[in-house]
Amino acid sequence: MDIAKKVSHATDEVILELSGISKFFGPVTALSNIDLKLHRGEVLALLGDNGAGKSTLVRILSGLHRFDAGTMKIDGEEVSFSKPQDARAEGIETVYQDLALFDNLTAAENFFIGREPSKPKGLGVLSFVRRAEMRRRTKERLDSMAVGIKDPNMPVGLMSGGQRQAIAVARAEQFAKRIIILDEPTAALGVRETRSVVEIIKALPAKGISVILITHNMQQAVELADRAIVLRQGHKVGEIAAEPENEQQIVSMIVGAGGVPSAPGSTASSSPAA
Protein backbone atom coordinates (compact mmCIF):
# COMPACT_ATOMS: atom_id res chain seq x y z
CA MET A 1 0.00 0.00 0.00
CA ASP A 2 1.48 3.36 -1.05
CA ILE A 3 -0.38 5.96 0.98
CA ALA A 4 2.29 8.60 0.38
CA LYS A 5 1.33 8.90 -3.27
CA LYS A 6 -2.36 9.56 -2.59
CA VAL A 7 -3.55 12.36 -4.88
CA SER A 8 -6.64 14.39 -4.09
CA HIS A 9 -8.95 15.56 -6.88
CA ALA A 10 -11.36 17.29 -4.49
CA THR A 11 -12.45 20.81 -5.39
CA ASP A 12 -14.12 23.53 -3.33
CA GLU A 13 -17.44 22.89 -5.08
CA VAL A 14 -20.00 21.36 -2.71
CA ILE A 15 -22.24 18.96 -4.62
CA LEU A 16 -24.01 17.35 -1.65
CA GLU A 17 -24.95 19.01 1.61
CA LEU A 18 -26.91 17.50 4.49
CA SER A 19 -28.07 19.71 7.35
CA GLY A 20 -29.69 18.35 10.51
CA ILE A 21 -30.73 15.05 8.93
CA SER A 22 -32.66 12.83 11.35
CA LYS A 23 -34.45 9.53 10.89
CA PHE A 24 -36.80 7.78 13.31
CA PHE A 25 -38.22 4.27 13.27
CA GLY A 26 -41.02 4.55 15.81
CA PRO A 27 -39.38 5.36 19.17
CA VAL A 28 -35.90 4.51 17.83
CA THR A 29 -33.65 7.34 16.64
CA ALA A 30 -31.57 5.93 13.79
CA LEU A 31 -29.94 9.24 12.86
CA SER A 32 -29.83 12.46 14.85
CA ASN A 33 -28.99 15.88 13.40
CA ILE A 34 -26.41 14.75 10.82
CA ASP A 35 -24.46 17.45 8.95
CA LEU A 36 -22.33 16.46 5.95
CA LYS A 37 -20.73 18.13 2.95
CA LEU A 38 -19.29 16.34 -0.07
CA HIS A 39 -17.13 18.14 -2.64
CA ARG A 40 -16.77 17.37 -6.31
CA GLY A 41 -14.01 14.84 -6.92
CA GLU A 42 -13.71 14.01 -3.23
CA VAL A 43 -13.55 10.59 -1.63
CA LEU A 44 -15.34 10.72 1.72
CA ALA A 45 -15.03 7.75 4.08
CA LEU A 46 -18.18 7.14 6.15
CA LEU A 47 -17.03 5.16 9.15
CA GLY A 48 -18.55 3.64 12.26
CA ASP A 49 -19.20 0.38 14.03
CA ASN A 50 -22.22 -1.82 13.31
CA GLY A 51 -25.38 0.06 14.26
CA ALA A 52 -23.73 3.46 13.91
CA GLY A 53 -26.26 4.65 11.33
CA LYS A 54 -24.17 4.29 8.17
CA SER A 55 -26.66 2.02 6.39
CA THR A 56 -29.58 4.28 7.25
CA LEU A 57 -27.76 7.30 5.85
CA VAL A 58 -26.84 5.41 2.69
CA ARG A 59 -30.47 4.37 2.23
CA ILE A 60 -31.55 7.99 2.54
CA LEU A 61 -29.02 9.09 -0.07
CA SER A 62 -30.08 6.20 -2.32
CA GLY A 63 -33.80 6.95 -2.09
CA LEU A 64 -34.74 3.86 -0.06
CA HIS A 65 -35.64 5.86 3.07
CA ARG A 66 -37.00 9.37 3.51
CA PHE A 67 -35.51 11.50 6.26
CA ASP A 68 -37.83 12.85 8.95
CA ALA A 69 -36.06 16.14 9.68
CA GLY A 70 -33.39 18.33 8.12
CA THR A 71 -32.54 19.29 4.55
CA MET A 72 -30.60 17.75 1.67
CA LYS A 73 -29.18 19.81 -1.18
CA ILE A 74 -27.65 18.73 -4.49
CA ASP A 75 -25.63 21.48 -6.18
CA GLY A 76 -27.32 23.98 -3.87
CA GLU A 77 -30.87 22.89 -4.71
CA GLU A 78 -32.99 21.33 -1.97
CA VAL A 79 -34.12 17.78 -2.81
CA SER A 80 -35.95 14.87 -1.19
CA PHE A 81 -36.03 11.33 -2.54
CA SER A 82 -39.04 9.03 -2.26
CA LYS A 83 -37.64 6.18 -4.37
CA PRO A 84 -34.29 5.01 -5.80
CA GLN A 85 -35.14 6.43 -9.22
CA ASP A 86 -35.16 9.91 -7.68
CA ALA A 87 -31.58 9.49 -6.45
CA ARG A 88 -30.46 8.12 -9.82
CA ALA A 89 -32.09 11.05 -11.59
CA GLU A 90 -29.83 13.32 -9.51
CA GLY A 91 -26.76 11.37 -10.60
CA ILE A 92 -26.32 9.22 -7.48
CA GLU A 93 -25.49 5.53 -7.94
CA THR A 94 -25.02 3.01 -5.11
CA VAL A 95 -23.03 -0.22 -5.11
CA TYR A 96 -24.37 -2.28 -2.23
CA GLN A 97 -22.36 -4.97 -0.48
CA ASP A 98 -24.45 -7.72 -2.14
CA LEU A 99 -23.77 -6.01 -5.55
CA ALA A 100 -27.37 -6.55 -6.81
CA LEU A 101 -26.16 -8.69 -9.72
CA PHE A 102 -28.09 -11.55 -11.34
CA ASP A 103 -25.93 -14.67 -11.64
CA ASN A 104 -27.94 -16.07 -14.57
CA LEU A 105 -27.49 -12.93 -16.67
CA THR A 106 -24.41 -11.88 -18.63
CA ALA A 107 -22.11 -9.01 -17.74
CA ALA A 108 -23.75 -6.88 -20.43
CA GLU A 109 -27.26 -7.71 -19.25
CA ASN A 110 -26.35 -6.87 -15.65
CA PHE A 111 -24.64 -3.69 -16.79
CA PHE A 112 -27.80 -2.34 -18.44
CA ILE A 113 -30.45 -3.99 -16.26
CA GLY A 114 -33.48 -1.69 -16.27
CA ARG A 115 -31.77 0.69 -18.71
CA GLU A 116 -31.57 -1.42 -21.84
CA PRO A 117 -31.11 0.61 -25.05
CA SER A 118 -33.89 -0.15 -27.51
CA LYS A 119 -35.23 0.74 -30.94
CA PRO A 120 -38.84 0.76 -32.22
CA LYS A 121 -40.27 -2.49 -33.56
CA GLY A 122 -41.94 -1.51 -36.81
CA LEU A 123 -44.83 0.90 -36.26
CA GLY A 124 -46.01 -0.66 -33.02
CA VAL A 125 -45.35 0.25 -29.40
CA LEU A 126 -43.01 -2.71 -28.86
CA SER A 127 -39.27 -2.32 -29.22
CA PHE A 128 -36.13 -4.38 -29.76
CA VAL A 129 -33.34 -4.38 -27.18
CA ARG A 130 -30.08 -3.40 -28.85
CA ARG A 131 -28.03 -6.29 -27.48
CA ALA A 132 -25.05 -5.75 -29.74
CA GLU A 133 -24.80 -2.18 -28.48
CA MET A 134 -25.07 -3.42 -24.89
CA ARG A 135 -22.19 -5.85 -25.40
CA ARG A 136 -20.04 -3.24 -27.16
CA ARG A 137 -20.56 -0.53 -24.55
CA THR A 138 -20.03 -2.95 -21.67
CA LYS A 139 -16.76 -4.21 -23.15
CA GLU A 140 -15.55 -0.67 -23.81
CA ARG A 141 -16.26 0.38 -20.24
CA LEU A 142 -14.66 -2.70 -18.68
CA ASP A 143 -11.62 -2.42 -20.95
CA SER A 144 -11.19 1.23 -19.99
CA MET A 145 -11.09 0.17 -16.33
CA ALA A 146 -8.54 -2.60 -17.05
CA VAL A 147 -10.94 -5.29 -15.86
CA GLY A 148 -9.98 -8.78 -17.05
CA ILE A 149 -13.35 -9.73 -18.55
CA LYS A 150 -12.85 -10.67 -22.19
CA ASP A 151 -16.38 -11.87 -22.94
CA PRO A 152 -19.31 -9.62 -21.87
CA ASN A 153 -21.61 -12.55 -22.76
CA MET A 154 -20.27 -14.65 -19.89
CA PRO A 155 -22.81 -15.24 -17.10
CA VAL A 156 -21.88 -13.28 -13.99
CA GLY A 157 -22.29 -16.43 -11.88
CA LEU A 158 -19.14 -17.85 -13.50
CA MET A 159 -16.98 -14.84 -12.63
CA SER A 160 -14.64 -14.20 -9.72
CA GLY A 161 -15.54 -11.92 -6.85
CA GLY A 162 -13.25 -9.19 -8.17
CA GLN A 163 -14.78 -9.35 -11.64
CA ARG A 164 -18.29 -9.17 -10.19
CA GLN A 165 -17.34 -6.19 -8.03
CA ALA A 166 -15.78 -4.49 -11.05
CA ILE A 167 -18.99 -4.91 -13.06
CA ALA A 168 -21.03 -3.33 -10.26
CA VAL A 169 -18.61 -0.38 -9.93
CA ALA A 170 -18.37 0.04 -13.71
CA ARG A 171 -22.16 0.10 -13.97
CA ALA A 172 -22.33 2.79 -11.30
CA GLU A 173 -19.63 4.82 -13.06
CA GLN A 174 -21.45 4.55 -16.39
CA PHE A 175 -24.64 6.11 -15.07
CA ALA A 176 -23.47 8.32 -12.16
CA LYS A 177 -23.36 12.02 -12.96
CA ARG A 178 -22.26 13.17 -9.51
CA ILE A 179 -21.82 10.59 -6.76
CA ILE A 180 -21.04 6.89 -6.31
CA ILE A 181 -21.71 5.29 -2.93
CA LEU A 182 -19.65 2.16 -2.27
CA ASP A 183 -20.72 -0.08 0.60
CA GLU A 184 -17.82 -2.32 1.72
CA PRO A 185 -16.54 -2.72 -1.87
CA THR A 186 -13.74 -5.17 -1.01
CA ALA A 187 -15.18 -6.98 2.02
CA ALA A 188 -15.31 -10.46 0.45
CA LEU A 189 -12.33 -10.20 -1.91
CA GLY A 190 -8.83 -11.65 -1.84
CA VAL A 191 -5.68 -9.55 -1.86
CA ARG A 192 -5.24 -9.45 -5.65
CA GLU A 193 -8.93 -8.73 -6.33
CA THR A 194 -8.97 -6.05 -3.63
CA ARG A 195 -6.00 -4.33 -5.25
CA SER A 196 -7.81 -4.30 -8.60
CA VAL A 197 -10.99 -2.78 -7.17
CA VAL A 198 -8.99 -0.20 -5.19
CA GLU A 199 -7.33 0.99 -8.40
CA ILE A 200 -10.75 1.34 -10.01
CA ILE A 201 -11.97 3.45 -7.08
CA LYS A 202 -8.86 5.65 -7.25
CA ALA A 203 -9.66 6.52 -10.87
CA LEU A 204 -13.20 7.79 -10.18
CA PRO A 205 -12.44 11.24 -8.68
CA ALA A 206 -10.23 12.19 -11.64
CA LYS A 207 -13.38 11.87 -13.77
CA GLY A 208 -15.22 14.39 -11.59
CA ILE A 209 -17.15 11.74 -9.68
CA SER A 210 -17.36 12.03 -5.90
CA VAL A 211 -17.25 8.88 -3.80
CA ILE A 212 -18.77 8.02 -0.45
CA LEU A 213 -16.89 4.98 0.84
CA ILE A 214 -18.30 2.82 3.62
CA THR A 215 -15.65 0.49 4.98
CA HIS A 216 -14.42 -1.21 8.15
CA ASN A 217 -10.93 -1.40 6.64
CA MET A 218 -9.03 1.49 8.23
CA GLN A 219 -5.96 1.12 6.00
CA GLN A 220 -8.21 1.31 2.96
CA ALA A 221 -9.94 4.40 4.35
CA VAL A 222 -6.70 6.35 4.80
CA GLU A 223 -5.39 5.14 1.44
CA LEU A 224 -8.41 6.19 -0.60
CA ALA A 225 -10.26 8.95 1.25
CA ASP A 226 -9.63 12.67 1.56
CA ARG A 227 -11.75 13.02 4.70
CA ALA A 228 -13.43 10.70 7.18
CA ILE A 229 -16.73 11.24 8.95
CA VAL A 230 -17.45 9.00 11.92
CA LEU A 231 -20.93 8.01 13.11
CA ARG A 232 -21.69 6.37 16.43
CA GLN A 233 -25.18 5.32 17.57
CA GLY A 234 -26.84 7.63 15.08
CA HIS A 235 -24.72 10.71 15.87
CA LYS A 236 -21.92 12.31 13.93
CA VAL A 237 -19.05 12.23 16.43
CA GLY A 238 -16.11 13.33 14.34
CA GLU A 239 -14.74 14.63 11.05
CA ILE A 240 -11.06 14.49 10.22
CA ALA A 241 -8.55 14.29 7.36
CA ALA A 242 -8.08 10.66 6.32
CA GLU A 243 -4.33 10.48 6.88
CA PRO A 244 -2.20 7.73 8.48
CA GLU A 245 -1.26 9.94 11.42
CA ASN A 246 -4.96 10.35 12.27
CA GLU A 247 -5.76 6.63 12.18
CA GLN A 248 -5.67 6.14 15.95
CA GLN A 249 -7.91 9.15 16.52
CA ILE A 250 -10.41 7.80 13.99
CA VAL A 251 -10.46 4.45 15.78
CA SER A 252 -11.03 6.26 19.09
CA MET A 253 -14.02 8.06 17.61
CA ILE A 254 -15.46 4.81 16.28
CA VAL A 255 -15.21 2.89 19.55
CA GLY A 256 -16.16 5.86 21.72
CA ALA A 257 -12.95 6.05 23.73
CA GLY A 258 -12.91 8.92 26.18
CA GLY A 259 -10.56 11.85 25.93
CA VAL A 260 -10.26 11.93 22.15
CA PRO A 261 -7.43 14.42 21.51
CA SER A 262 -7.91 17.28 19.10
CA ALA A 263 -5.82 17.35 15.94
CA PRO A 264 -5.34 19.81 13.08
CA GLY A 265 -8.20 19.60 10.58
CA SER A 266 -10.42 17.57 12.86
CA THR A 267 -13.62 18.04 14.80
CA ALA A 268 -14.90 15.73 17.49
CA SER A 269 -18.11 15.59 19.46
CA SER A 270 -19.00 13.98 22.74
CA SER A 271 -22.68 13.65 21.86
CA PRO A 272 -24.50 11.03 23.92
CA ALA A 273 -25.51 7.82 22.22
CA ALA A 274 -29.00 7.68 20.80
Answer yes or no: are the C-beta atoms of 93 and 175 closer than 8 Å: yes
Question: Which CATH number fits the domain that encloses residue 251?
Answer: 3.40.50.300
Please check whether residues 12 and 99 belong to one and the same domain: yes
H or E stretch including 88? helix 84-89
Cα–Cα distance measured from residue 131 to residue 133, given in angstroms and rounded to the nearest whole number: 5
Q: What was the pLDDT predicted at 67?
A: 97
What single-letter amino acid sits at 49? Answer: D
Residue 269 has pLDDT above 60, yes or no: no
List residues bridging with 179 in a β-sheet.
92, 210
- Domain membership of residue 274 (yes or no) is no
**Domain co-membership, 47 together with 21:** yes
Mean of pLDDT over the chain: 85
For the chain, percent of residues with pLDDT exceeding 70: 85
182 in the same domain as 54: yes
Number of domains in the chain: 2
Q: Is residue 98 part of a domain?
A: yes
Are both 83 and 117 inside the same structural domain? no
The reported pLDDT for the residue numbered 120 is 58
232 and 184, same structural domain? Answer: yes
Residue 128 domain boundaries: 105-154
Half-sphere exposure of 242 (CA within 13 A, CB side): 27
Dihedral sign for Cα 236, 240, 241, 247, please: negative
Same domain, 123 and 169: no
Q: Is the pLDDT of residue 91 over 70?
A: yes
Question: Do 86 and 197 reside in the same domain of the chain?
Answer: yes
For residue 237, the surrounding DSSP H or E stretch is strand 235-241
